[in-house]
Amino acid sequence: MSDQNTEKNGKTNEHTDNMAQNESIDDMLSNVLNTDDSRVGTDMLDEGEDEEKEKLKAEIAELKDKHIRQLAEFENFRRRQAKEAIELRQTAGKEIIQELLVALDDMDRAEKQIDNTDDVKLIKEGIALVFGKVRNILNQKGLRRMEAVNHDFDADLHEAITEIPAPSEQMKGKVIDEVESGYYLNDKLIRYAKVVVGK
């Protein structure tokens, strides 16, 4: 009986030792695994963060480069536009002036004719030709004279210089005389007509 108890106690002690040993191994494994897992996880996070940072830095550098290029392009465009605007202002009237030079030549010839002749009829014809040529050139460029006399006074088109008694009832509130003609350029009003209005 004592042998049986000894054997039982021996088995119980062995079992207890095995359990303690197993628990100790589990604790060690757990510590090792936890330590390794956290270290591996941290390393992987650090690597991922570094890659993300590098990627973001590259994107920022690329965007900065694009921005600088666009600023430079815009500055060049602005300079070109300013230069073209100056050139356009300087040469805007070149075409019309070149065409009016022909009429100017005719005026010079008419002036010589006036000095060399007393024929009033001939002088009048020469002057009428020059005036006609100037008007034709301007008409071809889109200039159109406003018809104001005998029309109703319109503050959007006319500038009243004075009012005089109307010669008839029908002429009241109408333009009786024109002091300075009004003009359209391509159907856009460029000068008001200065007029005398009947009251």
Mean pLDDT of 163-174: 91
CB 182 within 8 A of CB 143: no
> What contacts 173, CB < 8 A, 6 or more positions away?
152, 153, 166, 197, 198, 199
Mean pLDDT of 101-121: 86
Query: Domain residues for 2?
Result: 1-92
Taking the C-alpha atoms of residue 183 and residue 147, their distance in angstroms, rounded to an integer, is 9
pLDDT at 157: 93
Residues 165 and 187 both lie in one domain = yes
pLDDT at 6: 46
Q: Of 92, 121, 156, at which residue does a domain stop?
A: 92
Taking the C-alpha atoms of residue 188 and residue 196, their distance in angstroms, rounded to an integer, is 23
Look-up: residue for tokens 């029309």?
151
The token pair at 80 is 């070109």
Residues 120 and 157 both lie in one domain = no
Using the predicted structure, report yes or no on whether residue 38 has a pLDDT greater than 60.
no
Residues 15 and 68 both lie in one domain = yes
Residue 190: C-alpha distances to residues 43, 156, 167 (Å): 78, 12, 30
pTM of the entire predicted model: 0.52
The token pair at 31 is 């510590």
Residues 10 and 45 both lie in one domain = yes
Give the rounded percent of residues in the chain with a pLDDT score beyond 70: 77
Q: What is the CA radius of gyration of the chain?
A: 52
